[in-house]
Amino acid sequence: MTPGPQNAITDIEGLKVGHAQDDRLKSGVTVLTADTPFTASVSVQGGAPGTRETDLLAPDKSVAQVDALVLSGGSAYGLDACSGVVEGLRATGRGYRVGNTIIPLVPGAIIFDLLSGGDQTWTDTPYPALGRAAFEAATHSTPIGTVGAGTGAMTAMMKGGLGTASLTLDSGITVGALVAANPMGSVTTPGDKHFWAAPFEIDGEFGGLGPDAHAGLGRTHDSRKLTAMLERANTTIAIVATNATLDKAQCQRVAIAAHDGIARACVPAHSPSDGDLVFSVSTSARPMTTPRDLALIGHAAALCLSRAIARGVYAATPASGDLLPTWGQLNANI
């Protein structure tokens, strides 16, 4: 397995990612879409999720494909970002056709970033406009760090961020991950330097510092985040995708497997106060050739997700009013 040309979910042909953020608000929206609908499912493993239209992604539900997926800040307010994406899709004639009407299908999930130091004095929710702007900005590449849904993200000890990573299997199947990392847990070992995801790093993509020989088992849980804000201000939400042809049940199995990537990169993970969720997407461009392919796709999805979490935190940039330092600020002498 080797990373794709961009080391990003957009290495999967046809997928596009767009971001919009309000730096004064310290929040934003990230949208994944494509020129045609795609198969998708979801797995929720956290105890405090915030979601929209995820029930239709269950394998037994009749809708087979969706038009976009949304990752947003803003907690419950951020779910309205999906409405902005629906408006954008409808304006282009995209959506599920019922008679002479069009219904764009846009599931979404949110992180809690309302206490990240941003200005929350607004009256009308800004998230529909952010959602539409993110949809209209979608391209076949994506930045990482303090951008889109990762703008106000925080981990236990430092700023979080928006991350992505990819792998191409020997079969030619490509797998990618896109994540807004805002967990209750820490993504670094005690000392703020080494990432828990270090065993899965490729080519120094988040500093090349390697594993921490003195990390222990994560038995302590120091948290600058809990000191600065409420205990429930958490969640890691992600999208994993592949160009392999998967049905909804197989997509769900990949989403379940990908949650291992969160657990390897965030300690602890999947807590009662996290809303940890993984969407899984198939563009159905490349048929699987062996029964082993599905297992390898799930494994690669978990690897990509661990790396994407670390990359997003590693790339976070400081801004006025931040409650927590970035990894770069804490490790300026490296």
pLDDT of residue 212: 79
pLDDT band at 38 (very low <50, low <70, confident <90, very high): very high
pLDDT of residue 263: 93
pLDDT band at 225 (very low <50, low <70, confident <90, very high): low
The answer to whether 128 and 81 are in contact (CB under 8 A) is yes
User: What span, in angstroms and rounded, lies between the C-alpha atoms of 200 and 191?
Assistant: 20
Most confident of 56-65, 113-122, 244-253: 244-253
What is the enclosing helix (H) or strand (E) of 242?
Answer: strand 235-244
pLDDT of residue 163: 97
User: What span, in angstroms and rounded, lies between the C-alpha atoms of 308 and 293?
Assistant: 22
Q: What is the CA radius of gyration of the chain?
A: 18
pLDDT of residue 259: 96
Strand, helix or coil for residue 129: helix
pLDDT band at 86 (very low <50, low <70, confident <90, very high): very high
Amino acid in the structure at residue 138: A
The answer to whether 166 and 7 are in contact (CB under 8 A) is yes
Over residues 196-221, the mean pLDDT reads 81
Distances (CA, A) of 90 to 93, 104, 203, 249, 283: 5, 6, 42, 28, 21
How many other C-beta atoms lie within 10 A of the C-beta of residue 128?
Answer: 19
Per-residue pLDDT tens for 130-163?
999 999 999 999 999 999 999 999 998 899 999 9
User: What span, in angstroms and rounded, lies between the C-alpha atoms of 259 and 232?
Assistant: 20
Question: Is residue 294 packed enough to be buried (19+ CB in 10 Å), middle (13-18) or exposed (0-12)?
Answer: middle
The answer to whether 242 and 282 are in contact (CB under 8 A) is yes
Higher pLDDT residue, 322 or 67?
Answer: 67
The answer to whether 197 and 185 are in contact (CB under 8 A) is no
The reply to whether omega before 268 is within 30° of 0 (cis) is yes
Res. 226: pLDDT tops 80:
no
DSSP conformation class of 79: G
Over residues 262-273, the mean pLDDT reads 86
pLDDT of residue 233: 60
User: What span, in angstroms and rounded, lies between the C-alpha atoms of 154 and 32?
Assistant: 22
CA dihedral sign, ordered 114, 269, 277, 177? positive
How many other C-beta atoms lie within 10 A of the C-beta of residue 211?
Answer: 15
Res. 80: pLDDT tops 80:
yes
Among the listed residues 194, 178, 180, 209, the one whose alpha carbon sits nearest the alpha carbon of residue 316: 180
pLDDT band at 109 (very low <50, low <70, confident <90, very high): very high
Any idea what the Cα angle at residue 141 is, between residues 282 and 151, rounded to 5°? 100
Would you state the structure tokens that stand for residue 35, as one six-digit string?
A: 């020129």
pLDDT of residue 272: 83
Over residues 195-201, the mean pLDDT reads 93
What lies within 8 Å, CB to CB, of 47 at 6+ separation is: 270, 271, 272, 273, 274, 275
Q: Which residues pair with 198 in a beta bridge?
A: none
Strand, helix or coil for residue 27: strand
Question: pTM, whole model, 2 decimals?
Answer: 0.93
pLDDT of residue 333: 81
Higher pLDDT residue, 273 or 268?
Answer: 268
Percentage of the chain modeled with pLDDT above 70:
94
* Average pLDDT of the residues of the chain: 91
Res. 230: pLDDT tops 60:
no
pLDDT of residue 160: 95
